[in-house]
Amino acid sequence: MLSAADALCGNVRYIRRMDFRGKLILAPLAGITDTTFRLLCRENGADAVLTEMASAKGLLMQPERTRRFLEFREEERPVGAQLFGASPDEIGEAAAAIRAMGFDFVDINMGCPVRKVTGGGAGAALLSNPVLAGEIAAAAVRRAGIPVTVKIRSGFGKDPDSYLDVARAVFDAGVSAVTLHPRTRSQMFSGLADWSHIGALKREFPGRVIIGNGDVRLPRDAARMIAETGCDAVMVGRAALGNLWIFQAMRSELFAPAGQAGLLAAPGRSAA
């Protein structure tokens, strides 16, 4: 819960004007991104961090058990909480609870490919239902009082890629940013992420904040993703495992002088 001191020192004003552009963001990783890991990533160059994915229903029905995944320290800010669920009412109420806990933003997972999540209609299952995805996003925006973001994949796999339709629905609902991992649910983490989908998403929504994710493995990959796709920010997940310094290295590449690796370098894709 935000204290009176927090409000007086401007945290509330900061929360409401949070801008995701230009940031290197730590992705949620189940069983990995606890408060210690997130703090270490912040100390080593991550601009914003996210908790492990938490169940909206669990937060409402078993709050003490679920809150273990939602502990954070002030030094982690800006820090967001990621929720998953298939009910607009539950997501809305859980988003309000996230705000009350003092988080800076809330992210709604619409891309998790794991059967345990999709079997309940949440995560990547929402890619097959843009209408419900929009209703869930609208409920979160209405109740949260802090920025709401959404993380999606390109599609469920058995259907045509639906990321543009889902992004349109959640942007219409008022979300602040959309993160795209350009693999389908059926791909899981196999093959290459299709960065062209990130570029297509940015071209479709040029005035909106698009965060790229997927196959950002080497320090130069963040700069290349931005150069190739035009995305506004980059989310880094598994590349940070055992390599917390990758955020600092990526930052150096992003701001490298002309003629060196970085945004001004000739586009090229690392398959590593």
Q: Among residues 9, 41, 112, 231, which one is catalytic? A: 112
CA distance 46 to 250: 10
Residues facing residue 152 across a β-bridge: 110, 180
Strand bridging mode 105-110 / 24-26: unpaired
Residue for token pair 């001004």: 264
CA distance 263 to 256: 7
**Active site (annotated) includes residue 112:** yes
- Could you tell me where the DSSP H helices lie in the chain? 4-8, 11-16, 35-43, 56-61, 63-66, 88-100, 115-118, 130-144, 163-172, 195-204, 219-229, 246-254
Work out the angle at residue 236's Cα, subtended by the Cα atoms of residues 253 and 149, and round it to the nearest 5 degrees.
120
Positions annotated as catalytic residues are 112
